[in-house]
Amino acid sequence: MSASSADAVVADRLEKRFGQTIALAGLSFSVPRAELFGVVGPDGGGKTTLFRILATLLVPEKGTARVLDRDVVKDLWDLRRRIGYMPGRFSLYPDLSVYENLRFFASVFGTTIEREQAHIAPIYSQLEAFKDRRASALSGGMKQKLALCCALVHRPEILFLDEPTTGVDAVSRREFWDLLAQLKASGMTILVSTPYMDEADRCDRVALMQSGRLLAVDAPKAIAQSFDRPLLAVRAASRYPALLALRESPHVHAVYPFGDTLHYVDARRGEAPAAIATELSAFLASRGFADATVEPTAATVEDSFIARMGAPEGTRAA
Amino acid sequence: MSGDLAIDVQDLTRRFGAFTAVGGITFNVRAGEVFGFLGANGAGKTTAIRMLTGLLAPSSGRATVAGHDVARDAERVKRDIGYMSQKFSLYEDLTVRENITLYGGIYDLRDREIRDRSARMLANLQLEHAADQFVRAIPLGWRQKLAFSVALLHQPKVVFLDEPTSGVDPITRRQFWELIYDAAAGGTTVLVTTHYMDEAEYCDRISIMVDGRIGAMGTPAELKRDFKVSSIDDLFVQLARPTGSAQGPAA
């Protein structure tokens, strides 16, 4: 498969096993330069294995991966100085200060903080007030900003960020994504993995990943719109009993909690949502949920993920 | 205090040297309620939970959990509560059945009780076929559901769940919440922390801690109405950002 130079990443039938476990089951996808590309899926789906292969830290068993037009196995020494990698586990030096960590990572790549000042400024400016604080004493969100700064200090052409927002609170997560948007605007190619479905919307395109396979690769909006069954949002004061009742309705395909509503998926693909809403209101009223409201709603990336997943990890398909 | 309060907290405070991690929080949770305990990293949640579970003595104030004072009767608190977290829940090098037996033994259940309850638990979770597998060999989603059931093995009045669904796939995450609803419907009180803001909406009531204090508390619907926001996510950002608590010391 030929890689056009417009693509920053081209993965072709990548496979990796660990003993009996298939971590990657033959993945193919490509990421154009300057794209913010998300790999979205639960733990154990193969995200970290994929990122480690692309960052030249792990060798695939089969298939190939090219990053910046270089092979990740053969050209690893050339690639390493051109990529920035932020591992999923916090891997800075806890006993060094913010400034010392940054200086260390700069020196490894033969540069200095001063020389890189201009391009790290947007992130470093948020850290500077704490530059003498030890890394171990930073909050979760600040640790991740420091790790991002260290991954950027040698001016890489592409960034691989493995779950940078896991375990980070909702505010710090937003701030981190704002930083990624700024970096993308400067032309950086960014691959970022996350278990949070709602973060898919911050990406240009996303790959949905589960059990070592890609369920879909597309723009988040297109993935959401690919949901192909009638979807309705149900609100009821007693949510759990309403959920159990809906599972007994005649045309139900799936019912699950979704934010402050329940999402009801109808089994009849062509049926008009408005008609289903009327029907379902009557059904709920007959079951004693007189207060329930039902209205058609637009599917999200998470609805699509659930629909494409089939059975959850480790359970046998019904 | 009144009998149907499973958790009753009055002006609970914890200082570490000059730093006040929890600065006088007051709230209560009714029996059978699902209470979401939210806050930014470093806002004081972990310190508060350690006090409520009898692991850390308060500097001042008072808390009663499952009818026992956390400062005077910490050991009785520990017997009457369950606890599970994403970080630690089960022993990976023991089988599913060995984990259940171990926990049953720790809580002084009789052999017969352990046998009966583990049979019922494995049937409910549809995990009978995996009973003799090592926990490390079973998928994360199952493990978390199992860990929750094990935390309920001794039929505690209150269960504390610290980020129980972190990293779990969207279907299993929802199955987990159905286990929570089911336990609550049976009268167990649930206090849960999460970074998934959609899960905050699944709680009967929530509190949001900001810099060691409770910045907001109520049902998700009340809070959205009172703060004029469309989601708990937006409320969270509104409360946590102005104070810059994301830049405070680590919890």
For A33-87, write each residue's pLDDT tens digit: 999 999 999 988 999 999 999 999 999 999 999 999 999 999 999 999 999 999 9
Distance from CA of A63 to the nearest CA of B (A): 26
Residue B249, pLDDT > 80, answer: no
Residue B86, pLDDT > 80, answer: no
pLDDT value for B3: 58
Mean pLDDT of B189-196: 95
| Confidence tier at A289 by pLDDT (50, 70, 90) | very high
Is any Cβ of chain A less than 8 angstroms from the Cβ of B88?
Answer: no
What per-residue string of b and e applies to B188-218 under the rule 16 or more CB within 10 Å gives b? Answer: bbbbbbbbbbbbbbbbbbbbbbbbbbbbbbe
pLDDT value for B240: 83
pLDDT value for A50: 98
Size of interface A-B (CB pairs under 8 A): 125
Residue A312, pLDDT > 80, answer: no
Q: B136: exposed, middle or buried (C-beta count within 10 Å: 0-12, 13-18, 19+)?
A: exposed
Over the stretch A226-285, which tens digit does the pLDDT of each residue have?
999 999 999 998 889 999 999 999 999 999 999 999 999 999 999 999 999 999 999 999
Find, in chain B, the residue whose alpha carbon is nearest to that of A301. B170
Share of chain A above pLDDT 70, in %: 96
pLDDT value for B53: 96
pLDDT value for B119: 95
Under DSSP, the state recorded for A312 is P
Q: What are phi and psi of A129, to 5 degrees?
A: -60, -20
pLDDT value for B161: 96
| 3-class SS of residue A110 | coil
Distance from CA of B109 to the nearest CA of A (A): 30
pLDDT value for B248: 41
What's the CA angle centered on B219, arms B88 and B89, to 5 degrees? Answer: 5
| Confidence tier at A8 by pLDDT (50, 70, 90) | very high
Q: Which residues are paired to B82 by β-bridges?
A: B159
| Confidence tier at B242 by pLDDT (50, 70, 90) | low
Highest mean pLDDT among A117-121, A126-130, A190-194, B231-235: A190-194
Distance from CA of A175 to the nearest CA of B (A): 10
pLDDT value for A94: 95
Q: B180: exposed, middle or buried (C-beta count within 10 Å: 0-12, 13-18, 19+)?
A: buried
CB nearest to B139's CB, from A44, A260, A302: A44
Ranges A304-313, B22-31, B33-42, B50-59: which has the least confidence = A304-313
Is any Cβ of chain B less than 8 angstroms from the Cβ of A239?
Answer: yes
Whole-number Å distance between alpha carbons of B70 and B72 = 6
ipTM of the complex: 0.84
- Tally DSSP H helices, then E strands, for chain A: 10, 14
Sign of the torsion formed by the C-alpha atoms of A262, A306, B188 and A244 = positive
Contact B123, B84 (CB under 8 A): no
Under DSSP, the state recorded for A97 is B
Whole-number Å distance between alpha carbons of A134 and A254 = 49
Residue A316, pLDDT > 50, answer: no
pLDDT value for A311: 59
CB nearest to B174's CB, from A137, A168, A256: A256
What per-residue string of b and e applies to A122-137 under the rule 16 or more CB within 10 Å gives b? Answer: ebbebbeebeebebee
The CA distances from residue B1 to A297, B6, B11, in Å, are 45, 10, 15
Over the stretch A200-209, which tens digit does the pLDDT of each residue have?
999 999 999 9
**Computed over its alpha carbons, how large is the radius of gyration of chain B?**
18
Question: Taking CB atoms and an 8 Å cutoff, what residues of chain A touch B240?
Answer: 169-171
Secondary structure E strands in chain B: 5-16, 19-30, 34-39, 60-65, 68-69, 81-85, 158-162, 189-193, 205-210, 213-218
Q: B129: exposed, middle or buried (C-beta count within 10 Å: 0-12, 13-18, 19+)?
A: exposed
Whole-number Å distance between alpha carbons of B193 and A69 = 44
Q: Which of A168, A169, A190 is nearest to A179 (CA)?
A: A190
Q: Which of A289, A231, A305 is nearest to A262 (CA)?
A: A231
pLDDT value for B41: 84
Is any Cβ of chain B less than 8 angstroms from the Cβ of A94?
Answer: no
Q: Which of A136, A146, A168, A169 is the best mutation test for B, with the most CBs of B within 10 A? A: A169
Mean pLDDT of A159-176: 92
Q: What are phi and psi of B116, to 5 degrees?
A: -65, -45
Please state, rounded to an integer, the average pLDDT across all residues of chain B: 91
> What's the N-to-C CA distance of chain A in angstroms?
38
Task: Supply the pTM of this predicted model.
Answer: 0.89
Contacts of B68 (CB under 8 A, 6+ apart): B76, B77, B80
The CA distances from residue A128 to A98, A313, B18, B136, in Å, are 8, 43, 24, 42
Contact B166, A169 (CB under 8 A): no
pLDDT value for B194: 92
Under DSSP, the state recorded for A4 is P
Whole-number Å distance between alpha carbons of B198 and A159 = 29
CB nearest to A240's CB, from B168, B181, B233: B181
Question: Taking CB atoms and an 8 Å cutoff, what residues of chain B touch A171?
Answer: 40, 236-237, 240-241, 246
CB–CB contact B41 A169 (8 Å): yes
Type of residue found at A170: A
Please state, rounded to an integer, the average pLDDT across all residues of chain A: 93
